[in-house]
């Protein structure tokens, strides 16, 4: 962290990038701990604003994941708009395994604790994960990959095709 503490844009004390990388490699555990602690404290302080659920999937369709594994599944974007969501429009979804997913939902769509989901919900979440993927989706089932491949990157493609909001 000496690199960051002693950084001087006038060049009086400059460190090589290699020194910074070495410091970062030696400090990753502390940085990870700090980020995790910050996340935990934030969850504790805002626990009345959202429900935290573990979605249990006992269906024949596994949860899939992607190169964007944590996504907002709130239906704020149904209008086709790419405006950032409002604070209350935040339902974070994170598939942990083919049978389990984490959901932190401001909409309170799911109750706190363990929630058993239907095939309809699994399919909805898988489509949303695939749409938000940039390039890759992952599954323990080749059949699931084939089923959701057509949705991969759809949101990015739509975003790139829209006209700029400014003139």
- Per-residue pLDDT of 119-165, as tens digits, reads 999 999 999 999 999 899 999 999 999 999 999 988 878 777 776 66
Q: Is residue 99 pLDDT above 70, yes or no?
A: yes
Instruction: Categorize the per-residue pLDDT at 82 as very low, low, confident or very high, splitting at 50, 70 and 90.
Output: low
Report which of residues 61 and 39 the model is more confident about.
61
CA–chain centroid gap for 25, Å, is 24
User: What's residue 94's pLDDT?
Assistant: 95
- Report the C-alpha gap between 88 and 105 in whole angstroms: 9
User: What's residue 45's pLDDT?
Assistant: 85
What is the 8-class DSSP label of residue 112? Answer: S
Q: What is the pTM of this model?
A: 0.71
Q: How far is CA 77 from CA 105, 132, 134, in A?
A: 16, 12, 17
- Per-residue pLDDT of 5-56, as tens digits, reads 555 555 545 556 777 788 888 888 898 899 889 988 887 887 788 888 999 9
Question: What is the three-class DSSP state of 49?
Answer: coil
Q: How far is CA 107 from CA 53, 74, 75, 88, in A?
A: 12, 8, 10, 7
User: What's residue 22's pLDDT?
Assistant: 83
- Which of 11, 23, 95, 13 has the alpha carbon at shortest distance from 53? 95
């Amino acid at each position: 962290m000496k690199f960051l503490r002693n950084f001087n844009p006038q060049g009086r004390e400059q460190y090589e990038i290699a020194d910074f990388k070495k410091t970062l490699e030696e400090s990753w555990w502390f940085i990870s701990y700090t980020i995790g602690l910050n996340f935990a404290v934030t969850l504790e302080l805002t626990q009345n604003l959202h429900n935290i659920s573990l979605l249990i999937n006992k269906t024949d369709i596994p949860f899939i994941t992607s190169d964007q594994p944590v996504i907002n599944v709130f239906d704020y974007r149904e209008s086709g708009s790419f405006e950032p969501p409002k604070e209350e429009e935040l339902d974070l979804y994170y598939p942990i395994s083919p049978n389990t997913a984490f959901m932190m939902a401001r909409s309170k769509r799911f109750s706190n604790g363990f929630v058993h989901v239907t095939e309809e919900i699994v399919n909805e979440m898988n489509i949303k994960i695939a749409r938000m993927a940039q390039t890759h989706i992952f599954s323990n089932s080749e059949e699931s990959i084939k089923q959701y491949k057509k949705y991969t990157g759809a949101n990015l493609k739509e975003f790139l095709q829209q006209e700029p909001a400014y003139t």
